[in-house]
């Protein structure tokens, strides 16, 4: 239940907006009927609850635009730990996912959603590809149920495909078998009817998301999927150009670059975003920008798998939409949005510094390395993600917007002591944030770093038992 609320005395407020509007003077913020009613120096009104945010900074709650929640039980798998993407896919998710039970899947979703919520993430877009024609449980329904229990906004990116990377034989596990395009589209229709809320602050969204264009469907199927999705008012998402292998695979199959291939199958535009986009040529960046196609920037996973660093500043300059995604915990053991935004800040600056050219050679030195700010990263991780998902009432701290916000303490943890600019603390200092409160549509989801009534110790015990049982099945 929402209630009238006045948040008082904040040390700083970052809004998720650009330029001078990136910071609100505050120090107070008023909430009415789940929306932000005022920001400034405010006087308490009769009947409203008050939260004292002295020693705290307020951010818009994070919007995570790419995850694989089922991987929350596959963290740190030693078989794939030191592998790059393609061998890692075989070593970890392709090896273990087909052995997961319904209880494993639900437990993994719960772990991932909890980890995200405790970092200040209110909206989760999960790229779920755990589907098969005869799978005995509904993974889509499980994800929506688990997100609703936490009170989080949830976008199901319905993955899967009609092609299999493994030979299709009678002994192929049920969960690894490909679908038909007819079956895929039939389920998309069902999900749209049962779950999709197109409202600008909708709690549930459905996105059409074949797992990866070069390997999941045939070109004519991808065109049909895009046509049907747009007819239903649904957005499109997938993986693309995470490694040089994508360039090799698409060149071998179609004699063109991955982004140009996506143009031929109608998979570019403001209603499309891709995870990763690490390996891009200049003409591909220009095309993504011209079409306003988006990126879910996943710096930690890309670093962990040795894929590289996405050119997010060049993409944004070209006109592409920028957001941040955590990716799956099997390739990112710190699967929370504070860790991810901290990495995004560092890696964008590191990439620019790595590519710097000396002045005497006609370059600009390290000037471009200074161009990515904490305010940029907050904007990408909040307003950027909300824009990509079409959640226009979410993502920024402005009057009239939904009260999705996080209140981080910076007065108890020595990692913040000595900060000249306290506002940057949660992103710049990294680590485990001191999340005092998170509100979603004005509803309290997190208080003092905990989900009220949730037994984290029991969840830990269940996770250890589930991992043990999963490995026994291997």
Taking only Cα atoms into account, the Rg of the chain, rounded to an integer number of angstroms, comes to: 22
Contact indicator for 215, 258 with CB cutoff of 8 Å: no
Cis peptide upstream of residue 122 (ω within 30 degrees of 0): no
Domains in the chain: ranges and CATH: 5-60+399-447 (2.30.40.10), 62-389 (3.20.20.140)
Q: What is the pLDDT of residue 169?
A: 64
Q: What is the pLDDT of residue 366?
A: 85
Q: How far is CA 362 from CA 186, 311, 356, 357, in A?
A: 57, 21, 11, 7
Q: What is the pLDDT of residue 170?
A: 64
Q: What is the pLDDT of residue 134?
A: 87
Q: Dmax over Cα atoms in the chain, in whole Å?
A: 70
Integer Cα distance of 223 and 217 in angstroms: 10
Contact indicator for 217, 180 with CB cutoff of 8 Å: no
Integer Cα distance of 274 and 471 in angstroms: 32
Q: What is the pLDDT of residue 367?
A: 79
Q: What is the pLDDT of residue 172?
A: 75
Closest CA to 161 of 136, 194, 128: 128
The DSSP-derived string for 130-160 is ---TT-SS-HHHHHHHHHHHHT-EEEEEE--
Q: How far is CA 384 from CA 16, 62, 108, 403, in A?
A: 8, 10, 27, 17
Q: What pTM value is reported for the model?
A: 0.97
Q: What is the pLDDT of residue 168?
A: 61
Q: What is the pLDDT of residue 98?
A: 93
Pairing of strands 272-276, 321-324: unpaired
Give, for all 474 residues of the chain, the pLDDT tens digit: 677 999 999 999 999 999 999 999 999 999 999 999 999 999 999 989 999 999 999 999 999 999 999 999 999 999 999 999 999 999 999 999 999 999 999 999 999 999 999 999 999 999 999 999 989 999 999 999 999 999 999 999 999 999 977 666 666 788 888 999 999 999 999 999 999 999 999 999 999 999 999 899 999 999 999 999 999 999 999 999 999 999 999 999 999 999 999 999 999 999 999 999 999 999 999 999 999 999 999 999 999 999 999 999 999 999 999 999 999 999 999 999 999 999 999 999 999 889 888 889 988 888 777 889 999 999 999 999 999 999 999 999 999 999 999 999 999 999 999 999 999 999 999 999 999 999 999 999 999 999 999 999 999 999 999 999 999 999
């Amino acid at each position: 239940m929402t209630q009238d609320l006045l948040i008082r005395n904040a040390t700083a407020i970052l809004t998720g907006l650009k330029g001078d509007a990136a910071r609100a003077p505050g120090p107070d913020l008023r909430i009415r009927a789940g929306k932000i009613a005022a920001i400034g120096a405010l006087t308490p009104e009769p009947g409203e609850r008050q939260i004292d945010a002295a020693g705290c900074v307020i951010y818009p709650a994070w919007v995570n635009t790419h995850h694989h929640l089922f991987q929350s039980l596959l963290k740190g798998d030693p078989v794939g730990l030191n592998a790059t993407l393609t061998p890692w896919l075989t070593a970890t998710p392709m090896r273990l996912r087909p052995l997961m039970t319904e209880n494993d899947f639900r437990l993994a979703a719960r772990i991932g959603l909890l980890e995200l919520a405790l970092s200040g993430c209110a909206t989760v877009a999960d790229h779920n590809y755990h589907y098969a024609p005869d799978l005995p449980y509904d993974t889509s329904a499980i994800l929506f149920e688990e997100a609703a229990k936490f009170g989080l906004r949830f976008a199901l990116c319905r993955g899967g495909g009609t092609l299999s990377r493994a030979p299709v034989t009678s002994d192929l596990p049920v969960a690894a078998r490909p679908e038909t395009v007819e079956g895929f589209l039939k389920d998309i229709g069902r999900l749209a009817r049962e779950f999709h809320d197109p409202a600008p602050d909708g709690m549930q969204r459905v996105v059409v998301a074949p797992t990866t264009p070069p390997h999941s469907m045939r070109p004519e199927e991808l065109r049909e999927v895009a046509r049907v999705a747009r007819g239903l008012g649904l957005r499109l998402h997938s993986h693309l150009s995470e490694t040089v292998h994508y360039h090799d695979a698409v060149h071998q199959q179609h004699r063109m670059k991955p982004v140009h291939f996506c143009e031929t199958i109608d998979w570019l535009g403001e209603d499309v975003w891709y995870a990763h986009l690490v390996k891009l040529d200049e003409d591909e960046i220009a095309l993504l920008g011209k079409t306003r196609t988006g990126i879910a920037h996943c710096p930690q996973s890309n670093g962990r798998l040795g894929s590289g660093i996405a050119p997010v500043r060049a993409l944004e300059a070209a006109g592409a939409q920028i957001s941040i995604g955590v990716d799956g915990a099997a390739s990112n053991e710190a699967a929370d949005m504070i860790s991810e935004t901290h990495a995004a800040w560092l890696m964008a600056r590191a990439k620019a510094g790595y590519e710097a050219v000396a002045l005497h050679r006609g370059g600009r030195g390290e000037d471009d390395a200074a161009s990515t700010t904490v305010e940029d990263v907050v904007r990408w991780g909040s307003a950027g993600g909300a824009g990509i998902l079409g959640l226009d009432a979410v993502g920024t701290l402005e009057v009239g917007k939904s009260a999705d916000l996080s209140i981080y303490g910076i007065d108890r943890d020595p990692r913040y002591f000595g900060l000249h600019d306290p506002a940057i603390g949660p992103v710049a200092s990294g680590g485990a944030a001191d999340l005092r409160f998170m509100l979603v549509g004005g509803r309290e989801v997190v208080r003092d770093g905990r989900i009220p009534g949730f037994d984290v110790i029991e969840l830990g015990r269940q996770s250890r038992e589930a991992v043990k049982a999963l490995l026994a099945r291997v």
